[in-house]
Structure 1
Amino acid sequence: MSNIIHAKTPLTDDTIAHLRIGNRVLITGIIYTARDAAHKRLVELADQGKELPFDVQNQIIYYVGPSPARPGRPIGSCGPTTSYRMDVYTPTLLAMGLKATIGKGNRSERVIEAMKRYKAVYFVATGGAAALLAKRVKKAEVIAYHDLGAEAIMRLEVEDFPVVVANDIYGNDLYSEGMAKYQNG
């Protein structure tokens, strides 16, 4: 299928510049997981000028708290969580070089402006497809904050992880444009 974009991590500025809202993307490489509590800790470290548990430069953070892995599998079901809960923390991480986030739902205007400024994108993964998304994870390991359980930061190796571009570096927003299209149609 020629309308699917294949992207490898770490992401490059060139890759990001070619992405537009609505693009279907298959990600291969390393992505990191983090949710609310982990984001709070990351931003506290950044505010203190301390090193983060992983270098966010050109990386992707997936907003997920996976279920325990079944025997023989690297991870359990791993569907996206609602992104707006991370909006208070996201601009700080984008300023540090984070290139993309993955979640579900729309983002705040503050995050959209930060994505334009720091040249980053927001991908959405399909909610309700957690078991199918887990099949795209080839390896998973906790790298920080073990005490957070399912919300610990994990390093995932993924192959053809399916997402859609919801916000691009040009300020376009799939959610608002999609709603406008159907309200005016």
Structure 2
Amino acid sequence: MININVPVEEDLTKLKAGDVISLTGTIFTARDQAHKRLLEEGAPDDIESTALFHAGPIITKDDDENYNMVAIGPTTSMRMNPYQADVISMGPKIIIGKGGMDNTVREALKEHGAIYVVATGGCAALYVDAIEEIEDVSWLDLGMPEAMWKLKVKDFGPLIVAMDSNGNSLYDDH
């Protein structure tokens, strides 16, 4: 497994569809409504060279008003197809999700040297163990699952490169 530090400073074009990676650093969650708002209002934080995770985490708040991550798993990424290419042009280098994405995303990944990786569904409790800290949250008015959560992670994975920055996809018909 290849560990990638986020924000990404390395050239992701060396990664190929099928490679297995993990992430260490800062990632953000972003589902449908967060993608829409990113395009309407811009990012609430610096997303340049970061990773966006298509996830709606389960989060609780304790008596001291601290947030606690209970579980975080991928949501179906094709729902983000209408927004994803434009969001990729805003700077994130890694998109994390579940299932395939369309050719507009494939072209945006190629153009911006980015990758799309898939997280394994059903591993929400496993992925939460890699989260060291909830650093911030934006757009709570969208609801906890749709809010944009800023997370500090260590060895977050395994994640499989499903679409690389060279136009290859695990979802192509062979």
TM norm structure 2: 0.91
Secondary structure class of the residue paired with 1:93: helix
Structure-1 separation of matches of 2:48 and 2:67? 29
Secondary structure class of the residue paired with 2:70: coil
Q: Deviations over 1:57-110 (max 9, x none)?
A: 111100111112487984111000000111111111211221111000001011
Secondary structure class of the residue paired with 2:58: coil
Contact 2:59 2:68 in 1 (8 A): no
Secondary structure class of the residue paired with 1:175: coil
Judging by fraction of residues, say which structure has more helix. 1
Structure-2 separation of matches of 1:9 and 1:141? 14
2:55 aligned partner:
64
Q: Which has the larger radius of gyration?
A: 1
Q: Give 1:141 shift.
A: 3.9
Q: Give 1:150 shift.
A: 2.1
Q: What is the aligned counterpart of 2:30 among 4, 29, 34? A: 34
2:20 aligned partner:
24
Q: Give 1:27 shift.
A: 0.6
Judging by fraction of residues, say which structure has more strand. 2
Q: What is the aligned counterpart of 1:94 among 88, 93, 101? A: 88
Residue 6 of structure 1 aligns with an amino acid whose one-letter code is N
Is 1:12 matched with 2:18? Answer: no
Q: 1:151 to 1:107 in 2, by over 3 A?
A: same
Instruction: Report matched runs for 1:71-86 at 5 Å.
Output: 74-86=68-80
Q: 1:73 to 1:154 in 2, by over 3 A?
A: closer
Structure-2 separation of matches of 1:170 and 1:151? 31
Long gaps (5+) in structure 1: 47-51, 181-185
Contact 1:74 1:137 in 2 (8 A): no
Residue 66 of structure 1 aligns with an amino acid whose one-letter code is P
Long gaps (5+) in structure 2: none
Structure-1 separation of matches of 2:92 and 2:59? 27
Contact 1:33 1:64 in 2 (8 A): yes
